[in-house]
A = this chain, B = another copy of it.
Amino acid sequence: MPVLHHHTASTASRFVRICFHEMDFAAELSEELPWEKRPEFLRINPAGTLPVLETDNGHALCGPHIIAEWLDESFGVFKRDRRLLAEDPFRRAEIRRLVEWFLIKFEQDVARPLVHERIVKLMKPSGSGDNAPDPKMLRTGRANIRQHMKYLSWLAGSRPWLAGERLSYADLAAAAALSVMDYLGEIDWNAFPQAKDWYQRLKSRPSFRPILADRIRNLPPVAHYADLDF
């Protein structure tokens, strides 16, 4: 069976896990702590980033975009109305723009600072001298999250799904990003009802169940994390 190297707190890993479920693609999960820079893992992906899919025929597909494109090329055309990329080149471009937005821009502005300060530091051996969150980084991440939530609300309020008429990779990338922040209790849902309504629809999908069952060691989620009527 193919193996997906992933981490629970990695947005990109969650995105790929949800895509696999939506596409009925089965893979075994193998947890990787990328900050440990394990030599065996760096041999598979010299960039040291997650997720990585090792296929049955010995290929390593590195990174969420690459796995998503490969998944669509290999199985997408047979999925008809469950396909996660559009047919039209301009609609494909809009889906990819939003995937990049949530996997790269949101990651840089919001997820990386908050995950690093609140999760990675917690997981590093205590006594390594670097276990306390930096208040300045937390403030930056939290200020940025509001800007991203405004944009997401605008998208969710003006289109049935984020990139248009149909569920696409764009929704799954955004929902993966939000799910990590929601685990940490960093989202003020009451301030963004349109985003909340959209996220509720995503959260109710069977592909989201494993994500809602995720637990990070020594860090329980906020009370409403797995609640479908939050």
Q: Are A70 and B93 in contact (CB under 8 A)?
A: yes
Copies in the assembly, this chain: 2
- A57-65, A161-169, A213-221 - interface stretch: A57-65
Indicate whether A205 reaches chain B with its CB closer than 8 angstroms: no
Chain B positions within 8 Å of A89 at CB level: 70, 73-74
Contact among B46, B66, B96, B151 with A93 in the assembled complex (CB-CB below 8 Å): B66
- A97-105, A126-134, A136-144 - interface stretch: A97-105
Query: DSSP class of A's interface residues: helix, strand, loop or mixed?
Result: helix
Contact among B46, B47, B61, B97 with A63 in the assembled complex (CB-CB below 8 Å): B97
Give Cα A96 to B64, complex, Å: 11
Q: Are B105 and A65 in contact (CB under 8 A)?
A: no
The A64-109 residues at the B interface (CB cut-off 8 A) are: 65-66, 69-70, 73-74, 89-90, 92-93, 96-97, 100-101, 104-105
Q: How many residues of chain A get a CB closer than 8 Å to chain B's CBs? A: 23
Q: Are B69 and A93 in contact (CB under 8 A)?
A: yes
Give Cα A221 to B102, complex, Å: 36
Q: Are A92 and B105 in contact (CB under 8 A)?
A: no
Give Cα A176 to B225, complex, Å: 44
CB distance from A98 to the nearest CB of B (A): 10
Given contacts A61-B97, A65-B100, 14 further A-B contacts (CB under 8 A): A47-B100, A47-B101, A47-B105, A59-B93, A63-B97, A63-B100, A65-B65, A66-B93, A66-B97, A66-B100, A69-B96, A73-B92, A74-B89, A104-B104
Task: Name 5 A/B residue pairs within 8 A (Cβ), A-sorted.
Answer: A47-B105, A59-B90, A65-B100, A66-B96, A73-B89
